[in-house]
Amino acid sequence: MASVARLHILQQSSSVLNLKPSSIASEFHLQSNSSSLFCNPNLLRNNSRVRKLHLTPSLCSNSNFTPENASASGPSGSIVGDLLDYLNESWTQFHATAEAKRQLVAAGFHLLSENDDWELKPGGRYFFTRNMSCLVAFAIGEKYSVGNGFHVIAAHTDSPCLKLKPKSALSKSNYLMVNVQTYGGGLWHTWFDRDLSVAGKVIVRAGDGSFQQKLVKIKRPLLRVPTLAIHLDRTVNKDGFKPNLETHLNPLLATKHDDASLDIKDKNNSSHHPLLMQILSDELGCQADNIANIELNICDTQPSCLGGANNEFIFSGRLDNLASSFCALRALVDACGPKDLSDEHAIRMVALFDNEEVGSVSMQGAGAPTMFQAMKRIIDSFANQYIRESIIERAIRRSFLVSADMAHGVHPNFMDKHEEHHRPELQKGLVIKHNANQRYATSGTTAFLFKEVGKIHSLPTQDFVVRNDMGCGSTIGPILASGVGIRTVDCGIPQLSMHSVREICGKEDIDIAYNHFKAFYRTFSSVDRKLNAD
């Protein structure tokens, strides 16, 4: 969908024309299958030219793709088409991080390692990854001095899904099935009768005895969780569909067959079906016996696309929270050119964490000190190994965090589930989240500052408060805010069908969020200076 617009952009950037994802993300050993990248037969005839221009699979993100709707991503400057590409690449938190890494390298950011010394300089742009599922990127203002603040947007890369158990091989009634566990609070009934597959991270044994971590994605429909026929469950429409998550949610892989043709030495001593391991090895281009470990998600194979009568919606899985992640990442890249940083005294940062959907308590989650350790290392780098008393604390006090996570748009069929005066609508801008019990980290001051940024740039905002008689979700905002006392606002793009296998948000809200985040980076310093506060 964004392919026409992207061709125009790429033709203006010779540095991007020669950049291939496989060369950029070498750390992740990204695998691709050129024969499955494109859905349009006419494009296949010019495959070599298209690969040079690095068109991503958005070309087939809508089965109704035609030249007439090729510009459906909106007016010049819209990032919606690029978001669709990002979503279609990012089936898992690992793939989302790898794609973010590719885009940062393409934009001129330098990859750091947490295991090495950092040599930083004013005007520099840097990033590092952790566990292949967490990423922190930052750009240092040309006028930065030790003790100045950090302007951060934080989001998360994970989404509710099904994951393979360590021993996934399961057989019932002559079917080969996959044993799964639920990750996060998903709407699990939406995973039934979907065309599913697997993607994630594997560890492969190399010929020299070393081990490599590689990403894998089986793009074709491989699995399915079938519902029970209504003839065998006559009361389902009256009593509701209430599957047992341990016994009813295991996907079908195949019917049992002879494994003699499979290239696996020990077919009887595997935690996973030999057939599944053979499929993975074929995709990775290795021997099945060399796959030492797998960490795989179950994924919906239906591509992300535009929808609605006017193409005003985005239909996709994993909008929560990859939409926020992409808008934040793109805003940082586009707000951190050399001219943007020439008069900046602060440090602009994006932090994308894993495991938010299960509480953030992991080494790659927001509960770990990843972001604040990075802040300290940056300050150390410019302090010439001498840290004056309380300089880190003062830097944190001057900092500001935007916790970006998707918000609950009002559902037209369930309006009573929203507080009467706080019903966020799609296409009306970012939602500021408030909760007196601190399930969100927004305060009156932080809400004012973030809204003021939007007001300067004529960007709309909305407010959300959960009903007093309903429970309230939470975000990484309170975790990060309470960790070191950084000022924080919780906000999000409104959506419907949150935590479904297939979610919905408004196309206009994507561009509003992107522009608001970009304005935050460029404008917050001047806004913050005008406020006198303790």
- Does 307 reside within a domain? no
213 and 330 assigned to the same domain: no
Stretch 397-424: mean pLDDT: 95
Stretch 41-63: mean pLDDT: 35
Separation CA 163–CA 231 (nearest Å): 30
| Beta-bridge mates of residue 488 | 401
127 and 100 assigned to the same domain: yes
Sheet holding 400-404, edge to edge: 110-111, 125-130, 134-140, 347-353, 150-156, 400-404, 487-492, 430-434, 461-465
- Mean residue pLDDT across the chain: 86
- Does 61 reside within a domain? no
- Does 127 reside within a domain? yes
> Does position 431 have pLDDT exceeding 50, yes or no?
yes
What is the structure's pLDDT at 270? 82
Q: Exposed, middle or buried, 262 (CB in 10 Å: 0-12/13-18/19+)?
A: middle
406 and 288 assigned to the same domain: no
- Does 288 reside within a domain? yes
CATH code for position 184: 2.30.250.10
Domain that holds residue 279: 161-259+267-302
Domains of the chain: total: 2
133 and 232 assigned to the same domain: no
pLDDT band at 34 (very low <50, low <70, confident <90, very high): very low
Stretch 132-140: mean pLDDT: 98
What is the structure's pLDDT at 390? 83
What is the structure's pLDDT at 383? 86
State which H helix or E strand residue 481 sits in: helix 476-484
326 and 274 assigned to the same domain: no
326 and 284 assigned to the same domain: no
343 and 252 assigned to the same domain: no
Separation CA 210–CA 144 (nearest Å): 42
> Does position 384 have pLDDT exceeding 90, yes or no?
no
Going by C-beta distance under 8 Å and a sequence separation of 6 or more, which residues neighbour residue 131? 354, 363, 364
149 and 227 assigned to the same domain: no
379 and 493 assigned to the same domain: yes
- Does 177 reside within a domain? yes
Stretch 323-342: mean pLDDT: 95
- Does 44 reside within a domain? no
Do residues 378 and 120 lie in contact, with contact meaning Cβ atoms separated by under 8 Å? yes
pTM: 0.86
